[in-house]
Structure formats: C-alpha cells, structure tokens
Amino acid sequence: MDRTLWLPPEWAAQRCILLTWPHDQGDWSDGLAAVERTFLAMACAIARFQRVLITCRDDDHRAHVAELLADVPACELAIAPSNDIWVRDHGPITVIDDGTATLLDFRFNGWGNKYPALLDDAITERLMAQNCFPWAERVAVPFVLEGGSLECDGEGSLLTTSRCLLDPSRNGPISREDVEQKLGEWFACDRVLWLEHGHLEGDDTDGHIDMLARFAPGNRILYTACEDPSDSHAADLGAMAAELTALRTRSGKPYTLIPLPWPKARYNDDGARLPLSYANFLVINGAVLVPTYAQEATDQQALDCIAQAFPDREIISIPALPLVRQHGSVHCASMQIPLT
C-alpha cells in the first residue's frame, strides 16, 4: 500500500465541517423553519470545536444565514447555487497525499438520476474558485461516487454496500473488481468489505453505508439493528448483522460490534415510512453529533451506545426529524475536511 496516500477516518483531526444550508427554492420550501433550526443546532455544536464552512445559495440567502448565525463563532459563509443540502454526497472526499490535502471532486448525479443535481455537482469547484480551500488542491474525478456510500477505518479498509456502488445508474455496468481497483487507486485502500444486505425503507440512496454501519476506533463497528421480528426490516438487517459478524480485521480477529437501537416507525404525510437511523452520526473534533428522533428511550440508548464507542468525546443530541422528512440525517447533511 502506498503509505504517502491516506484517507483519514472521521475521528482523525479535522480542519472544518462543510454544510450546504437549506433554502426555499426546492424541497425545503415546506418546513424550512424546522430544518433551519436543526441546521442552527448543528452549526452551533460544531463551531464550539472547529470551523464551519457554509454554502449559501446567493447574496440574499447569505445575509439571511449570517443573521441566524450572528452569535455563532467560527462560521464562514460562501456562495454557490444548490439543489439540496446533502453535502456528504455532493461535497469532496479528502485524501492526504504526502502531507497535502487533495479534494477528490467526484461526480454527483442525484443518486442515480433520481433528482436534479447539476448545481450540487458544481459546488466544490465553485467553492474552490472562491479560495475557500487555500491549503488544498482539487482533483475532478469523472466517476459518480457519494461520500455516504463509504466508511473507512484509516488503516486501508473500506466498508460499503454492493447495492449502491455496483448500481448501473451511477457509472453504467461495472464489476466489483473494477470498483475495488479504482477505490485502491483513489484512497490507497487494500481491503474492501462488501455488505450484500441492509436497506431502510424510505432511503433513496440505494443503501448508503452511513445509514447502516459505521467504523469506530479500536476495530469497532456500530450498526443499525432491528430488534422487532414483526418489522419489515428484520430479515434483511438480521442478514446484515450476520455479515458483519463474519467480517475480520486486518489481523484476522472479529470486529467488536455495537448494535444501535431500532427507533419506532415514522411516516410522512403520504404514509411512506421514513428512514430513521442512529448510525447517521457525525464525528467532529472532541464531540459526536447524534441524530435523535423524539423517542426518549431509544434516543438515550443510541447516545449511550455511541458514547461507548467514542469515550473521549462529548456526545451531542441533534433533533433530526426535520432532516428525515427528506430521507437523510445529520451525517448526510455534513462533510468533514481533515486537518493536514
């Protein structure tokens, strides 16, 4: 493995967190106030520990966001038109190459052309043109890849789902071997751990790993577990748990698995089930932001589980029901830039 190239794990030191602020020119026009309260909670929590770089739609939107954040330090506002807020998938994936940060700007096509995405696909380039990343270089990669589809341990292993990465709506027909070769070249990883199971109703990303299973320090994996045998998710998430149990670390030992609680079902106004997941947490410098869903018992269980995996960090609850209305959560709405 090329030791000069490194994809840091999320718990490595970070320079900043990216947010793309919601606005009224898209899916957030209904319920904007509620989702802005969630974004404000996220920005306030992150700014206690590190810089926040926020993308605003235009000058008027920037002025509005600046007013909301008037008392919040460490926030920088930039301008780029956006389709949506999910910067985990339209933002850059950062690698450290011989001590220099490289922003890999993959293509984003709205999770397989499900939604408009041309504006989102251009955001990283627009931010780079505004000198938002003076310490980094940008490399455009002509391949569709979303940050939420990958988990890394910082030691050369990636965890992902075949349902997403092999979906032909991203890059046409492509083999597992070809994907592994490309991931190895971009991220200097020599192990790709594939999950064949794991899906949440209402998740329109085709099975992003950050809703299902997450690495933590010490060869731990936190994962979404369905404890209700009558639930429609029970069989598939049970099969995913068996896959995780069968995985081995680089030294050949089983991972330490931490099951996350199963929240009660929530539905949108049309009766469709929403994809609630405690696995969609965000690790920052000194803290972990955990999505909660106004369910006292399971919310607290999730906070306790994540505290077990990150004992040296403050655990911060973020009310995430407004985000889940549009099928994502805290991790989906944020992207870390590691420190070099």
Residues 318-335: tens digit of each pLDDT: 999 999 999 999 999 999
User: In the chain, pLDDT over 70 holds for what percent of residues?
Assistant: 99
* pLDDT (tens digit per residue) in 67-123: 999 999 899 999 999 999 999 999 999 999 999 999 999 999 999 999 999 999 999
- pLDDT < 50: residue spans in the chain: 1-3
> How high is the pLDDT of residue 2?
44
CA within 13 Å, CB half, 55: 31
Distance in angstroms (rounded) separating the CA atoms of residues 324 and 279: 13
* Structural domain of 118: 5-338
Helix (H) or strand (E) holding 138: strand 136-144
Give the CATH number for residue 334: 3.75.10.10
The pLDDT score that the predictor gives to residue 26 is: 84
**What total number of domains does the chain contain?**
1
> Rounded CA gap, 285 and 268, in Å?
34
What pLDDT score does 311 carry?
Answer: 98
In the block, residue with structure tokens 């955990």 = 290
